A and B are shown apart, each in its own frame.
Chain A
Amino acid sequence: MQNKQTEEQVLEILKQFKPEKSEILKALHALQNAHPLHYITEEAITQTARYFKLTTGQVYGVVTYYSMFSVKPRSPFIIRLCKSPVCYMKGSLNLWNYLSQKLLLNENNISSDDLFTLEPSECLGHCEQAPAMMINEQVFTNLSPKKIDQIIDDFKRKYHEK
C-alpha cells in the first residue's frame, strides 16, 4: 500500500475547494482523510498555505489547534473512543484499557501491527447507545469487549483481503 500523498494528489484535493478562508477546515479534513496514514503532512500544509494565500504558520496553527487533525503519521484506521460523561459512566475507561491491551499500543497509541490508532474523543452524539466509538467514518455503539473483538477482527480481515 502506498503510504504517501504526491504533490499532484494534494493539489487535486485542494482544487475541490474555493480558495477562501472559510473552506480551509473542509480542505484539511479532505487531505487528512485521503492520506493512507490519516495525517496532514508538512508538504500538504505548505501547499494548502499557498493555495489559500496564507503563510505556512497560519495553516499549521489551525491544524494543531484542532485535536481531530494530526501532523504525525497515524495508521489506516483511527479509533475515536468517546470519553464524554455518559460513555464514561457506561465504562468507556475500561474499554480504553481493553483496547490498549488488545492492540498492544505504543507510546503514540498506535497498534503493534500499525493498523490502528486509538484516540479519545468528545461526545459523538450517541449517548442513548453509550458507550460509543468511531473507526474512521463509521460509528459503533453499545460497545462491550466482545463486540469490540468482533469489530476489530472485521477490520483486520477486510484490510488483509484488500
Chain B
Amino acid sequence: MQAGLAGQGNAAEWGALLGVVLVTGVARHLGARFVAEIRRRPGVDLVVGVDVQPPRLPALELSGPAAPYRFHQLDLRRPAVSRVIAEHRVDTVVHLSVSATGLGSTNRSAVKESNVIGTMQLLGACQKAPSVRRLVVKSTTGVYGSAPRDPAVFTERIQPKNPPGGGFAKDAAEVEGYVRGFARRRPDVAVTVLRFANIVGPGADTPLSEYFALPVLPTVLGYDPRLQFVHEDDAVAVLCRAAGEAEPGTVNTGTFNVAGEGVLLLSQCARRLGRPTLPLLLPAVSWMAGLARQTRLVDVSPEQLRLLTHGRVVDTTRLRETFGYRPAFTTPEAFADFAAAQGPGLLPPERLAAVTDRLTGLLGPERAPTTQNRTARPSRPRS
C-alpha cells in the first residue's frame, strides 16, 4: 500500500478539506520535505511555513500544480504566531518544530524553551482561532523512555514505569500533555499525535545518524539494544495522511506510534554499516559521551545513551489497522537506505562476504554459496 506518496489519485476526495496549512519547523529537512509534499495535494489553498530561521535551501520550485507558499520568520516562543494564524485563516496546523537539537544554538535550556514554550504559544494561538479544525503534532517514541524494567514492546496505552527524566524525550512528554489539554478545551479540533521512531533516510539529519557516522562505534558492554527506524518517506507520508481527512474505514485522530516493521540490534546495525564496535563499560561510555558533548564533536545526549543501552521497540498495530498506513520501508530497509548514503566503514560487509565466499568456493564448486542473494537486500521498498 503506497497510499502516502504515490496515492495522488485517491487523494482527491480525502484531501479536499485541507484549506490553509500552517507548518512549523520548516527550516529542517523533514519540515521542508513535508511542505513540498503537501503543496502538491489537491484541496490545499495555501501553505504557510514558520521557523526561527529561513530554510537552508530555498523552497523548491515545484513542477506541476502546487499550492502557493509563504514563509514567516518568527520565534514560536513569542505570541506572533497568533497573528499569522488569524491573518491567513489557517485550517490545519502541523507542528513539526519539537526537536532534539536547536537550530543554531545547542544550548539545552534554549531548546527546551523553544519546544515547550513554543508549543504552549502555538496551542494558545490555535485555541483563539476559530478557523483551526485540525492539529497534527510530531512527537517521539522517546516518551516511553528506555529502561530494563519496562515491557519489551510499547503500545500507545502503556504508561512507562520509568518515564524520561529529562532531555528531549521529557520535552516531548510535556508537549503531549499540553496537546491533550488543548484537545479537551477544543473538542471540535481533530488532534493527532504521531510518535516517530528514529527517522532515517539518505538526507535525514537526526542525532542518531551522527553516532552512526563515527568510524568506530562505542557500545555499552553487555547490552545489545533493539532499535527501530522509520524512513523519512514514510514519515512524510504519515504526516500528509494525518493532515487530511481520514479515508473511509480509518481513523486519523488520536495517538499513533510510527515505526518500520521489524527490529535491528545495534550490533546488526554496526555490521551492516561495516563499522567495528568498541564495547566499553557503561561509566566509560557516559564519560566519553559527556566529553564529546562538551567539545562539540558529537552530540550524544544522556537519553540517547539510554536508548543505545536498553533499546526501545514500539507496537505499530494501531498505525497499520486503525490509521490505515503500512510503512513502505521496514526497519531493516530504512536502515539499508540510510547505510547506502554513508561512506564505507572499516569492515565493509561486501568484502567480508567475499572472503567467506572464496573460502567456501575452495571446498568444491558444488558448495559454492547458495546464500549469495541473501545479502542483496532490497534497499527500496517492496512493491
Interaction A to B = no
Chain B residues packing against A (C-beta within 8 Å): none
